[in-house]
Structure 1
Amino acid sequence: MTHQVHAFEPPERFVAGTVGPPGDRTFFLQARGGGRLVSVALEKVQVSLLAEKLEELLSEAQRRFGVKLPETGPVGGDNDPLDTPVDEEFRVGTLGLAFDVDTETVVIEAIAVGEAEVGAAAEAEVELDESDDEESADESDEDLDRLRVRLTPEATREFIGRARRVINAGRPPCPLCGQPLDPVGHLCPRHNGYHR
């Protein structure tokens, strides 16, 4: 079976976003460039973990290779909704990261869920690879569709900021148990199942 690689090196826009109301949101990574628009679905925890690992990757690149990083001050950034139509190309099973020392860019690769993972929930997995070899995919992943983007450190910081805003824009947490609150409340374990 043939696989498709959607490469954006660099994209005009690369963002994390959602479709749907809080509590019933579907998370997407979306890349736009060269007249193409690619949207891939993933889990909220994968978006959160991706932002966290990208921050670690930038810090490590600065420490090991002396890469100049932009300031992490409060920046408005891209708050526009996802471009439409939002057509899911595939569901992400694995996320891979690499730092290309030669071009001083971050490479993000979102790989489709494999046949072994279909039917079971795909685990959020981010592989942190700080080498300049971006072809580190497992041989079993070579026949899967993938989205590959190459970002500057500045664009990576903008992506991280937006991803964190998207994550925090969901349902507010319960002040007692920390679980997400629905508009009608929830059965709080701290209240032995009674509504608050």
Structure 2
Amino acid sequence: MTHQVHAFEPPERFVAGTVGPPGERTFFLQARGGGRLVSVALEKVQVSLLAEKLEELLTEASRRFGVELPESVAAGSDNEPLDTPVEEEFRVGTLGLAFDVDTATVVIEAIEAGETESESEAELTGVAEEVEDEDEDEPDEDLDRLRVRLTPQAAREFIERARRVVAAGRPPCPLCGQPLDPAGHLCPRHNGYHR
């Protein structure tokens, strides 16, 4: 079976977003460019980790390679909803990050979950000095993937929006930290009593 690589180098727009009400949201990464629109589903924790690791990657690139980091972007830079139609191409199992020194860009790769991976499993690779060619003998070579190349400014904008999207969910319980449903929840700190 052949795999499909959805490459956007660079995209017109690359964002994290959700569909559905809080508590039932589905998280997506969405890339648009060249008349194409690709949406891939992933878990909330993957979006949060991606934003965190991107921040670390930019900091490391600045420290090691002297890349000039952009200032934090304004909070309202891109608050638009996901482009429609939102059609899931695949569910993300692995996220990879790399910094291409030659072009001073960040490369994000979202790889489809394999048959042996559970939906909640997320792997996020660390900082690489440059993008390496894919090895033809990789076990996941037949998995679909979304590959996006971003400038440091675009990466910073993605980070800010991803953090807002993750924070926009249900508020945490002040006692146990689990998300609160509108009707309350069974708090383990209250021995199962509703609060």
Q: Aligning the two structures, in what range does the TM-score lie when normalised by the shorter sequence?
A: over 0.9
Helix, strand or coil at the partner of 2:52: helix
The share of aligned pairs that are identical, in percent, is 81
> Residue deviations 1:85-111, cap 9 Å, x none?
000000000000000000000000000
Aligned to 2:124: 126
Report if the CA contact (8 A) 1:107-1:134 is conserved.
no
**Alignment RMSD:** 1.3
Distance 2:11 2:154 in 1: 10
Distance 2:12 2:72 in 1: 22
Please, what TM-score do these two structures have when normalized by structure 1?
Answer: 0.95
Q: Which amino acid aligns with 1:38?
A: V
Distance 2:9 2:2 in 1: 22
Q: CA deviation at 1:122?
A: 4.1
Aligned to 1:151: 150
Distance 1:135 1:87 in 2: 29
Report if the CA contact (8 A) 2:29-2:42 is conserved.
yes
Distance 1:189 1:122 in 2: 23
Gaps of 5+ in 1: none
Q: Which amino acid aligns with 2:153?
A: E
User: Bigger CA drift: 17-26 or 74-83?
Assistant: 74-83
* Length, aligned pairs only: 194
User: Where do 1:46-85 residues align within 5 Å?
Assistant: 46-72=46-72, 74-85=74-85
Helix, strand or coil at the partner of 2:75: coil
Q: CA deviation at 1:73?
A: 5.5
Q: CA deviation at 1:74?
A: 4.3
- Structure 1 consecutive aligned stretches of length 4 or more whose deviation exceeds 4 Å: none
Please, what TM-score do these two structures have when normalized by structure 2?
Answer: 0.96
- Structure 1 residues 163 and 14, CA, compared in 2 at 3 Å: closer, same or farther? same
Distance 2:48 2:63 in 1: 23
Report if the CA contact (8 A) 2:100-2:106 is conserved.
yes
